[in-house]
């Protein structure tokens, strides 16, 4: 049994339309009639049935474009038509039109095992991320956004899908979107934005996805709430301040309760002196003047400051200036090189200030 070509074309899963060089229909299978939702008699003019297809076919014939793919909208469906010119001896005799519905192709593609797995992975990333994720086209129109993303700006998903991100500024939701700058520069960008509606500070980072011609295909934006981070930082700073205060108070109490430092202080005025000196030691003050009569404990107080400060592991040098001859004062304080004066040591001598370097000198 011989199967006719027409019988095969009737059973194919693609719409097939054949026209001659004048636009008259030579063959059409049943799928084309279903896709275009009309009767298409053989021998009729395609111009009277679907002028958009006719215009594209004649444009191909005029340009000598042997193959061309385009799409049209028909009753909320996207119909893709691939035109292939039929030529003989470099003369165009007509054209073959292969017709498909894109939505059906996409639906079938999603059922392929690899594509199905990729879709599940993609949805898992969007749905279970702690960050807000946006996917926008090259004009800034929102294609996808996860629940975290819409929660951050306080809108519903249906209110943002399909709109341009610039509209969020016009609606008073955010102060300045990130995507327009990325589209303009074609470079990644990180910048904080302020959400007026929810009074939140968001750190937003975006990256462009380019096609082979260097044009922006998509923009991917990831956002996270800096308000929580800011609150945690404030709480941490407050906790550190409280800890330092408690530490300081405990230190003062321990020291003033005479557990160390060889200082006995019972009177309120003396305890106040020790409290002030303790605070000064923690501040690492560079010079402190202690006055008092001989034997009142100025040396003990200076050592108290040293042992409770940041320099406690460095030298503590105490000098009795009254016991130093006037002529040797400079040499003792600042030292001298060998042979600096008669009677000077052959090796020279380090001065008190040098010995007390990074420590305390009293």
pLDDT tier at 208, thresholds 50, 70, 90:
very high
Average confidence (pLDDT) over 135-163: 87
Show the tokens assigned to 29.
């299978």
| pLDDT tens digits for range 248-276 | 655 555 554 444 456 777 788 887 888 88
Mean pLDDT of all residues belonging to the chain: 82
Please report, rounded to a whole number, the percentage of residues in the chain having pLDDT higher than 70.
89
Cα–Cα–Cα angle for 132, 205, 192, nearest 5°? 90
pLDDT of residue 257: 45
**What is the Cα–Cα distance from 37 to 99, expressed in whole angstroms?**
13
Q: Do 23 and 54 meet the contact criterion of CB atoms below 8 Å apart?
A: yes
Q: Where is average pLDDT lowest: 30-44, 105-119, 162-176, 291-305?
A: 105-119
pLDDT tops 50 at residue 352: yes
pLDDT of residue 220: 92
**What is the Cα–Cα distance from 208 to 182, expressed in whole angstroms?**
7
pLDDT tier at 174, thresholds 50, 70, 90:
confident
Cα–Cα–Cα angle for 113, 115, 118, nearest 5°? 110
**What is the Cα–Cα distance from 168 to 154, expressed in whole angstroms?**
11
Q: What is the β-pairing status of strands 200-210 and 189-195?
A: antiparallel
Q: CA-CA distances (angstroms) from residue 222 to 145, 146, 160?
A: 10, 10, 16
Fold of 262-361: Rossmann fold (3.40.50)
pLDDT tops 60 at residue 1: no
Q: Do 26 and 19 meet the contact criterion of CB atoms below 8 Å apart?
A: yes
129-227 against 262-361: fold identical: no
Q: Do 274 and 263 meet the contact criterion of CB atoms below 8 Å apart?
A: yes
| pLDDT tens digits for range 29-41 | 888 888 888 888 8
Q: Do 335 and 329 meet the contact criterion of CB atoms below 8 Å apart?
A: no
Domain ranges of the chain: 5-106, 129-227, 262-361
> What region, left, alpha or beta, does residue 339 occupy, with left being phi > 0 and alpha being psi -120 to 50 degrees?
left
Query: Where does 129-227 sit in CATH, by number?
Result: 3.30.450.20
Average confidence (pLDDT) over 274-283: 82
Q: What is the β-pairing status of strands 360-361 and 15-20?
A: unpaired
What CATH superfamily classification does 5-106 receive?
PAS domain (3.30.450.20)
Specify the pTM: 0.44
Phi, psi of 316, deg, nearest 5: -120, 115
Question: DSSP string covering 257-302, please?
Answer: TTSSTT----SHHHHHHHHHHHHHHHTT-S-------TTSSHHHHH
| pLDDT tens digits for range 285-326 | 778 899 988 888 888 888 888 888 888 888 888 888 888 888
Contacts (Cβ under 8 Å, ≥6 apart) of 15: 29, 31, 32, 34, 35, 97, 98, 99, 100
């Amino acid at each position: 049994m011989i199967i006719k070509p027409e019988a095969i074309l009737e059973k194919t899963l693609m719409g097939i339309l054949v026209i001659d060089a004048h636009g008259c229909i030579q063959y059409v299978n049943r799928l084309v009639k279903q896709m275009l939702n009309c009767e298409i008699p053989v021998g009729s003019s395609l111009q009277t049935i679907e002028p958009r297809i006719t215009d594209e076919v004649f444009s191909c014939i005029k340009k000598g474009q042997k193959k061309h793919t385009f799409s049209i909208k028909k009753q909320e469906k996207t119909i893709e038509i691939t035109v292939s010119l039929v030529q003989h001896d470099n003369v165009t005799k007509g054209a073959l039109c292969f017709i498909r519905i894109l939505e059906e192709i996409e639906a079938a593609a999603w059922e392929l095992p690899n594509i199905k797995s990729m879709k599940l992975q993609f949805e898992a990333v969007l749905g279970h991320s702690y960050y807000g994720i946006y996917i926008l086209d090259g004009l800034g129109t929102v294609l996808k956004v996860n629940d975290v993303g819409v929660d951050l700006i306080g809108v519903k998903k249906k209110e943002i899908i399909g709109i341009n991100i610039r509209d969020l500024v016009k609606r008073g939701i955010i102060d300045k979107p990130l995507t327009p700058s990325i589209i303009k520069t074609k470079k990644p960008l990180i910048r904080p934005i302020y959400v007026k509606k929810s009074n939140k500070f968001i750190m937003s980072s975006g990256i462009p996805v380019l096609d082979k011609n260097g044009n922006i295909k998509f923009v991917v934006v990831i956002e996270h709430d800096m308000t929580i981070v800011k609150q945690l930082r404030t709480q941490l700073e407050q906790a550190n301040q409280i800890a330092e205060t408690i530490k300081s108070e405990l230190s003062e109490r321990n020291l003033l309760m005479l557990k160390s430092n060889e200082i006995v202080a019972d009177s309120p005025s003396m305890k106040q002196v020790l409290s002030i000196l303790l605070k000064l030691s923690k501040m690492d003050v560079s010079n402190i003047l202690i006055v008092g009569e001989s034997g009142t404990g100025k040396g003990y107080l200076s050592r108290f400051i040293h042992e409770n400060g940041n320099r406690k592991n460095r030298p503590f040098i105490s000098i009795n200036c009254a016991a130093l001859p006037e002529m040797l004062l400079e040499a003792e304080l600042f030292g001298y090189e060998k042979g600096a004066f008669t009677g000077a040591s052959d090796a020279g001598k380090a001065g008190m200030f040098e010995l007390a370097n990074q420590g305390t000198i009293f």
